Amino acid sequence: MTAEHVPHIPHKTLTIAGSDSGGGAGIQADIKTFTSLQSFGTSVLTSITSQNTLKVDGIHPIPASFVSQQLEAVLSDIGTDAIKTGMLCNAEIISAITATLQKFYPGSRPVPNLVVDPVMIASSGAALLDSSAIATLINDLLPLCFILTPNVPEAEYILANAKLESPVFASASGKVESLEQMKLAAQDLARLGPSIVLLKGGHLPFYKASGKALPHELFDSVDDMSVDMEELELVDLVYDARSKVFVELRKEFLRTSSTHGTGCTLSAAIAAELSHGLEAHEAITKATNYIQSAIRDGLTVGQGKGCLNHFHHVVHRSIEKPTKYNPRPLTNYLLKACEKDWKDYTQHAFVQGIADGTLPKESFIHYMKQDYLFLQTYARAHGLGAFKARTMEESKAFAEIVVHIADESKLHIDYCAKWGITYEEIVNTPESMANVAYTRYVLDIGMTGGLLELGLAIAPCLIGYGEIGSRLYNDPKTVRGDANPYWDWIKNYHDSNYQEAVDRGIANLERQCNTQQPSEHRLEQMEEIFRAATRLEVSFWDMALNCL
Ligand SMILES: Cc1ncc(COP(=O)(O)O)c(N)n1
């Protein structure tokens, strides 16, 4: 056997949960999550549900002894690096699981990397745990638990049934209704055994400005448009009983009904990250980010609640034709494929300095001079586009962009004058190496390739500045008006004039691609051009920062 053929020993994660025939939650969601996070998944079924996106219409519990048998089979041979529990159905099953776990991990409290998602009620309303089983869950399972991941209603239910002496959480209604109460509830839950409690805030969004919770009666209307979601955030609260430290993970509250399987997926993702050896807080942070993207990229399956997209970070190497629902498939593909480079570019320290006004003036001046010189070549690249175009319409579109760039560079000169930079100074400035590299790359690609290649090389500049302009303009943390010397720069790229140019540029690029559906190899080449131009943007910001 050569070195190349030595089989890889994967990290392993076990799920002990119910089957969801609809594929969005339960074992199915867990295995998808393990797979997408590159942990080898094993499973112990506690029950089979007949379920779709609308309802659970039947539950068939597995005999408790057969649940133990499955668990024995997995642990005695394959072993595992982490375990999660989901739907456990009834008290007998919980007892069978805890007895078997204690057999394999004698005296371990917690059982290493055991994540417990205390599943009780499906989002469609069905009970997934017998009401008589809560005491067994509290008394037998929680003492073995490393990380407990309840949502707010589950936390309330566990605490209402826990017979804690002098609990710190007290509420007349038994409801958790503020961040302060979340903290007290998490502390009480930790006293039941878990080393760490992740109290999920998805059912209790807060107004960003006041920190007050969205009233319960409005929660059900978040799916219609009557609540301004921009104003809301959710807080996933982590309490580590070992260090007595709280960490608040704040997240954008997303308007979507594609949330079926969220709890299952989150606990599965935490377990998968733990299986790779990540420390608990790191695993939780990575897992909550994974969920946020999986929700944002949610899938419409069935007629009820949509499902998460467990493979949101896996780039599919094919481009659909633009549709009403996805008018920019190529652009979206490129942004995802080059995600890291794109972040390096659009969230560069230079951009941060513009946002908070702390960018050294010398850096900005250096950048402005080079940017003028850049625009000169950028205009030529569009001239090349006009030359390469096959139709009058397209030639005209490119020529119009040349005129637009020429107008923009006039503004540039006026803006430079405000910073004490004269026209002569600008045009006599030697081009920096970063500038030469970038602009000549664009021209070379444009000359040797077709219109699509040219479009790909010019796209990162056009799209990136538009994204930066609107993000900084809308970000409440951006320093605004006279307090920020770069505010006019931000406004310029947020302006509808610029944003319309971005939309036109994207539409052109999509049209070019659409007329020649790319093969996988061609797609790789396209990605390479887009990535190279994006990296050259990063070097451009680096140049400006390093000029000091
Ligand atoms: C087998 C099984 N396990 C867990 C859930 C909870 O998921 P959700 O709350 O999204 O319905 C479910 N519906 N089915």
Nearest residue to 168 (alpha-carbon basis) of 140, 197, 203: 197
Ligand 1 mean position to 30 CA, how many Å? Answer: 11
* Atom 3 of ligand 1, residue of closest alpha carbon: 26
pLDDT at residue 19 is higher than 60: yes
**Cβ count near 324 (within 10 Å):** 5
Active site residue 537: yes
pLDDT at residue 410 is higher than 60: yes
At the fourth CATH level, which superfamily is domain 8-202+237-296? Ribokinase (3.40.1190.20)
**Size of the chain in residues:** 548
pLDDT score for 124: 84
* Atom 7 of ligand 1, residue of closest alpha carbon: 261
Ligand 1 mean position to 149 CA, how many Å? Answer: 14
pLDDT score for 548: 77
Q: Which atom of ligand 1 is nearest to the CA of 47?
A: 1
pLDDT score for 519: 79
What is 415-473 written as a DSSP string? HHHHTT--HHHHHTSPPPHHHHHHHHHHHHHHHHS-HHHHHHHHHHHHHHHHHHHHHHH
pLDDT score for 398: 92
pLDDT score for 4: 60
pLDDT score for 521: 83
* Integer Cα distance of 41 and 53 in angstroms: 24
What is 82-109 written as a DSSP string? EEEE---BSHHHHHHHHHHHHHHSTT-S
What is the helix (H) or strand (E) element at residue 406, kind and residue range? Answer: helix 392-418
Q: Which atom of ligand 1 is nearest to the CA of 18?
A: 1
Q: Which atom of ligand 1 is nearest to the CA of 122?
A: 11
Question: What lines the ligand 1 site, CB under 6 Å?
Answer: 17-20, 25-26, 49, 51, 86-87, 119, 122-124, 128, 260-264
Q: Is domain 329-545 annotated with CATH 1.20.910.10?
A: yes
Give the model confidence (pLDDT) of 65-94 as tens digits.
Answer: 999 999 999 999 999 999 999 999 999 999
Q: Which of 45-49, 194-198, 223-227 has the lowest mean pLDDT?
A: 223-227
Average pLDDT, the chain: 92
What is 229-296 written as a DSSP string? GGGEEEEEEEEETTTTEEEEEEEEPP--S--BTHHHHHHHHHHHHHHTT--HHHHHHHHHHHHHHHHH
Ligand 1 mean position to 151 CA, how many Å? Answer: 13
Characterise 253 by phi-psi region: left (phi > 0), alpha (psi -120 to 50), beta (else).
beta
* Integer Cα distance of 430 and 148 in angstroms: 61
pLDDT at residue 220 is higher than 70: no
Q: Which atom of ligand 1 is nearest to the CA of 56?
A: 13
Give the model confidence (pLDDT) of 368-383 as tens digits.
Answer: 999 999 999 999 999 9
Using only C-alpha atoms, the chain has a radius of gyration, in whole angstroms, of 28
Ligand 1 mean position to 98 CA, how many Å? Answer: 21
Ligand 1 mean position to 291 CA, how many Å? Answer: 15
pLDDT score for 214: 86
Q: Cα angle vertex 275, ends 270, 276, to 5°?
A: 105
Q: Which of 5-19, 138-152, 464-478 has the lowest mean pLDDT?
A: 5-19
pLDDT score for 229: 64
Two structure tokens written together for 513: 């691609």
| Pocket perturbation via mutation, ligand 1, pick of 32, 52, 119 by most ligand atoms within 8 A of CB | 119
pLDDT at residue 242 is higher than 60: yes
* Atom 6 of ligand 1, residue of closest alpha carbon: 122
Q: Which of 232-246, 390-404, 515-529 has the lowest mean pLDDT?
A: 515-529
> Between the CA atoms of 212, 217, 218 and 224, what dihedral angle is there, to the nearest 10 degrees?
160
By DSSP bridging, strand 232-240 and strand 245-252 are: antiparallel
Q: How large is the ipTM?
A: 0.97
What is 149-196 written as a DSSP string? --BHHHHHHHHHH---SS-S---TT----SHHHHHHHHHHHHTTS-SE
- Confidence class for position 230, pLDDT limits 50, 70, 90: low
What is the helix (H) or strand (E) element at residue 42, kind and residue range? Answer: strand 40-51
Report the pLDDT averaged over residues 442-460: 95
Residues of the chain with CATH 3.40.1190.20: 8-202+237-296
Give the model confidence (pLDDT) of 412-424 as tens digits.
Answer: 898 899 889 999 9
- Confidence class for position 1, pLDDT limits 50, 70, 90: very low
Report the pLDDT averaged over residues 389-415: 90
CB within 8 A of 475, min separation 6: which ones? 355
pLDDT score for 34: 98
Give the model confidence (pLDDT) of 170-181 as tens digits.
Answer: 888 889 999 999
Report the pLDDT averaged over residues 317-332: 79
Ligand 1 mean position to 122 CA, how many Å? Answer: 5
Quickly tell me which residue has 């664009």 as its tokens. Answer: 442
pLDDT at residue 3 is higher than 60: no
Residue 430 in contact with residue 370, Cβ under 8 Å? no
pLDDT score for 489: 94
pLDDT score for 225: 54
Give the model confidence (pLDDT) of 495-540 as tens digits.
Answer: 998 999 899 899 989 988 877 677 778 888 999 999 999 999 999 9
| Pocket perturbation via mutation, ligand 1, pick of 28, 67, 123 by most ligand atoms within 8 A of CB | 123
* φ and ψ at residue 534, rounded to 5 degrees: -65, -45
* Integer Cα distance of 194 and 114 in angstroms: 9
Ligand 1 mean position to 429 CA, how many Å? Answer: 64
* Atom 2 of ligand 1, residue of closest alpha carbon: 26
One of 307, 461, 510, 513 is an active-site residue; which one?
461
Give the model confidence (pLDDT) of 283-300 as tens digits.
Answer: 999 999 999 989 988 888
Active site residue 461: yes
pLDDT at residue 426 is higher than 70: yes
| Pocket perturbation via mutation, ligand 1, pick of 19, 20, 51 by most ligand atoms within 8 A of CB | 20
**Cβ count near 146 (within 10 Å):** 23
Residue 134 in contact with residue 161, Cβ under 8 Å? yes
pLDDT score for 316: 65
Q: Which atom of ligand 1 is nearest to the CA of 260?
A: 10
More confident call, 455 vs 209? 455
Ligand 1 mean position to 440 CA, how many Å? Answer: 55
* Atom 4 of ligand 1, residue of closest alpha carbon: 26
More confident call, 14 vs 6? 14
Cα 11 to chain centroid, rounded:
23
One of 273, 408, 527, 537 is an active-site residue; which one?
537
